Amino acid sequence: MSLIDALPSPSFKRRPWQPNVVLCCLSGSMLAAAWLLNVVSVAPNRIVSGTAFGMVDAIGWPGAALVSLLSLAMATLALMPNVRHYRAVLAIVTLTLLLMPFGLMVAGHWLVDPSLPQARLGIGPAYWTVLFVLLLCLVELRLRLGLSRWWTALLLFGVSVVWWGCAALWLDRLALVQEFQARQGQFYQALMQHMVLVSTAVGVSVVLGSLLAMLMRRYERLQKVAFTLLNFLQTIPSLALFGLLLAPLAWLAANVPTLAALGVSGIGNAPALIALIAYSLLPMVRNTYIALEEVSEETLQAAKAMGMRTTQRFWQVRFPLALPVLLEGVRITAVQAVGLTAVAALIGAGGLGTFIFQGLGQAAMDMVLLGALPILILALMVDAGLGALADALRPGGRQ
């Protein structure tokens, strides 16, 4: 039995000739982008602007025909949707994702002059558009087939491994790979800084948010004040909040030697962590509060009738039942923190945002991608992992 045949078979009723409009539109968008937009660009060096090439010039007529056939096959199957057709579309989407790096290899072999050692291959808008459309197709197929988030995360991980292997072995002329090779040590350092900032901010917000949510349940007057303050913090732009923190933290560092010894200053990790925690508190507090409040009162009364004390009812009944919703709050908080941490590079906190702003300053889009793509991948991994864990912990959820 193949992996596709092993997928769950959801029970849904659909009229036989009612097309899936979403997949049809996505297939058409993929085909239009592949033919109308530039797929790659070739530049003799990092400074000179590259020459753009379409799909036929990049991968030849056989490659263009293959891309067109895959898109048309997806659209045809989406016209008569059923479980078997959805699985076939999933197989086509997966195959297309796996073939995309090989298309770059073909384009690099044909278009990059081997006599120019500094020549580089850039990724064009058609490539990114097709990739985005395929990811949207995965979202639609996950909903239609009822796939678990674990299965989706495993699929994306496998595709990422293939892409990474192709980039490491055969795509040395790709501009993004060259930017990575030139800054490999800086990249890993920035990645570590980014992950430390995110994990610290999320960890602190989970503790503070949980405590605040429990206090709000105990003292009802605190609820309105706390939510008002947290909602106000969300309305402040991230750059403005970093700027507001600069002056008071610099004053504290100058006047309180203990804080200065701990590394507190107007720039660096201190304002970055404070801002990230401030932005992370609202989703954490809100989900924790709702999760604890939504536990059935009948269940708690049954636990009380069994002789459980208040503490036992909380830790053995209320908390386990609220944990899936609470994890959704952690998921939202973590994904938000992964993105916001990029802005922290502007105040000297490091992280992957350093490459984004350096690339913007140098008009080097490949350096921007060197910072932006890992942030996107981290956000997807966090979202898929914590979402799958929350689904598994729900009563009757997928394992």
Q: With contact defined as beta carbons under 8 Å apart, do 339 and 317 qualify? A: no
> What's the CA gap between 19 and 293, in Å, rounded?
42
Q: With contact defined as beta carbons under 8 Å apart, do 80 and 15 qualify? A: no
Assign 300 a pLDDT band (cuts: 50, 70, 90).
Answer: confident
> What's the CA gap between 64 and 1, in Å, rounded?
32
Q: Looking at residues 302-310, what average pLDDT do you find?
A: 84
Does the pLDDT value for residue 397 go beyond 80? no
Which is nearest to 171 in space by CA: 375, 358, 162? 162
Q: Looking at residues 328-332, what average pLDDT do you find?
A: 91
Residue 11: predicted pLDDT: 47
pLDDT tens-digit series, residues 274-296: 999 999 999 899 999 988 888 88
Q: Looking at residues 262-279, what average pLDDT do you find?
A: 86
**What is the DSSP annotation of 186-253?**
HHHHHHHHHHHHHHHHHHHHHHHHHHHHHHHHH-HHHHHHHHHHHHHHHHS-HHHHHHHHHHHHHHHH
Structure token pair of residue 66: 């293959």
Assign 12 a pLDDT band (cuts: 50, 70, 90).
Answer: very low
Structure token pair of residue 373: 């793509």
Cβ contacts of 103 within 8 Å, gap of 6 or more: 39, 58, 59, 63
Percent of the chain with pLDDT over 90: 44
Residue 337: predicted pLDDT: 93
The backbone torsions φ and ψ at residue 120, rounded to the nearest 5 degrees and listed phi first, read -140, 150
pLDDT tens-digit series, residues 51-73: 999 999 999 999 999 999 999 99
On average, the pLDDT of the chain sits at 87
Does the pLDDT value for residue 29 go beyond 80? yes
Query: Within the chain, which residue ranges are assigned CATH 1.10.3720.10?
Result: 184-393
The backbone torsions φ and ψ at residue 38, rounded to the nearest 5 degrees and listed phi first, read -75, 135
Question: Among 1.10.3720.10, 3.10.110.10, 3.40.50.720, 1.10.10.10, what is the CATH number of 184-393?
Answer: 1.10.3720.10
Residue 396: predicted pLDDT: 58
**What is the DSSP annotation of 133-196?**
HHHHHHHHHHHHHT--HHHHHHHHHHHHHHHHHHHHHT-TTBHHHHHHHHTHHHHHHHHHHHHH
Q: Looking at residues 209-230, what average pLDDT do you find?
A: 88
Helix axis angle, 365-393 relative to 184-218, nearest 10°?
A: 40
> What's the CA gap between 38 and 54, in Å, rounded?
5
Assign 74 a pLDDT band (cuts: 50, 70, 90).
Answer: very high
Assign 107 a pLDDT band (cuts: 50, 70, 90).
Answer: very high
pLDDT tens-digit series, residues 122-177: 999 999 999 999 999 999 999 899 888 788 888 888 898 999 898 888 888 899 99
Does the pLDDT value for residue 325 go beyond 50? yes
Does the pLDDT value for residue 263 go beyond 80? no
> What's the CA gap between 5 and 22, in Å, rounded?
23
Residue 111, CA atoms < 13 Å, CB-side half-sphere:
29
Which is nearest to 161 in space by CA: 153, 150, 149, 151? 153
Residue 7: predicted pLDDT: 54
pLDDT tens-digit series, residues 348-384: 888 999 999 999 888 788 899 999 999 998 998 898 8
Percent of the chain with pLDDT over 70: 94
- How is the beta sheet containing 120-123 ordered, strand by strand? 51-53, 40-43, 120-123
Residue 53: predicted pLDDT: 94
> What's the CA gap between 346 and 241, in Å, rounded?
12
Q: What share of the chain is helix, strand, coil (3-state, %, to 5)?
A: 75, 5, 20
Assign 242 a pLDDT band (cuts: 50, 70, 90).
Answer: confident
